Amino acid sequence: MDDNKISSKQVYVPGPLPESEKPRPESSRRRPWRTFAILAGSLVGLIALVALTVVILAARGMFTGTPGHINEEPTWSPDGSKIAFTSDRSGNYDIYVMNSNGSNVRQLTSSPFATLSLVPGNADDYAPAWSPDGKQIAFVSGRNNLSWSFVDTDIYIMDQDGQNVVKWKGSQYYSADKFPEWSPDGCCITYASSPYPDVVGSGLSDIYMASTDPSLEPIITNLTMLEAINSDPSWSPDKNRIVFASVGDESWHIYMMNKNGSDFIQLTFGNGSQFSPAWSPDGTRIAYTGVIDGRADIYIMNADGTNIAQLTNGPANSFLPAWSPDSSRIAFVSEMGGEDNARNIFVMNADGSNVIQLTQ
């Protein structure tokens, strides 16, 4: 009812109407119910949003476990002064850096939507790899994952202080790209990758290589092309050879090949599994993870596979060795001294002595 109709009706009323009997605009009469409906709808929406958030956080494990109980994947800066590593101490896997004695821990990567990702693991950042000149760090992330699948990961490159994060052009579309490793001259990166159909099917992966020059459209080269899972590439200091881990039927073993993928040589044999090889900067030795009777330890051998020695001796699992630039020490991950499978980063001399815990 509009104002004109109200006025014309009032012309025929003898004398003024009492205020309480005057007709009110339709909007005035409906306002309390409309306000209530708006408030009720907002409350329902808020409850739904909170419930959805709780479900997502629970799916991501935010209400289980203890953030910070995983510290792993150490990699030394070329000058030996720092170690970059992966940690879940923020509730999400991110890249951190610390001094080589474990002090001055700083977070390098983060995602404002990490804990709200509908697919757990999509926003995780992990597997750091320092460039030979010390200016950049490559890492793996699913932060721009458009396939809504945790298997679609890419390699990113950032400055050593965490700034200027860019997706590396050498990463393959719809694939699980992992374990980046810079060549000694910094011209290219090798990595393991599973094309998307293979990840959900056979699980096969190969070692690939592509240029790091941002001005070039990199040519991606498959170096292995084996009917197996091939992973963990590590370059020789003379940049002529690459060691990697491979599993065909049952056990992982370590192999060597030329940088163009030719002349495969198997370095480890026997029972158990051997993987995550790391070539020493002086070129003489290879450290790796060996699993025998269900326990992982750090081993070392000559670059030709001879003279194998065990450096750690449980009872906790120890794995993922990383050499210091002068080849005198090895950083590694271990579950020793922790609870609920907590993992921390330790460092030891290259002969296995003087073990020191760096992260807590």
Q: Is residue 311 part of a domain?
A: yes
User: Same domain for 41 and 109?
Assistant: no
Residue range of the domain that includes 36: 3-55
Q: Are the C-beta atoms of 71 and 344 separated by less than 8 Å?
A: yes
User: Residue 250 has which token pair?
Assistant: 């049952």
SS3 76: strand
pLDDT > 80? residue 69: yes
Q: Is residue 244 part of a domain?
A: yes
pLDDT > 60? residue 8: no
| Residue 191 burial (CB count, 10 A) | 27
- The CA–CA distances, whole Å, from 30 to 37, 39, 41, 325 equal 11, 14, 16, 76
Q: Residues 195-199: what's their mean pLDDT? A: 52
Assign residue 122 the CATH number of its domain: 2.120.10.30
d(C-alpha 148, C-alpha 145), whole Å: 6
User: Same domain for 38 and 129?
Assistant: no
User: Same domain for 48 and 72?
Assistant: no
- pLDDT single digits (tens) 139-172: 999 887 654 444 678 899 999 999 999 999 888 7
Give the lowest-confidence range in 21-30, 55-64, 347-356: 55-64
Q: What is the mean pLDDT of the chain?
A: 81
Q: What is the pTM of this model?
A: 0.78
User: Same domain for 192 and 46?
Assistant: no
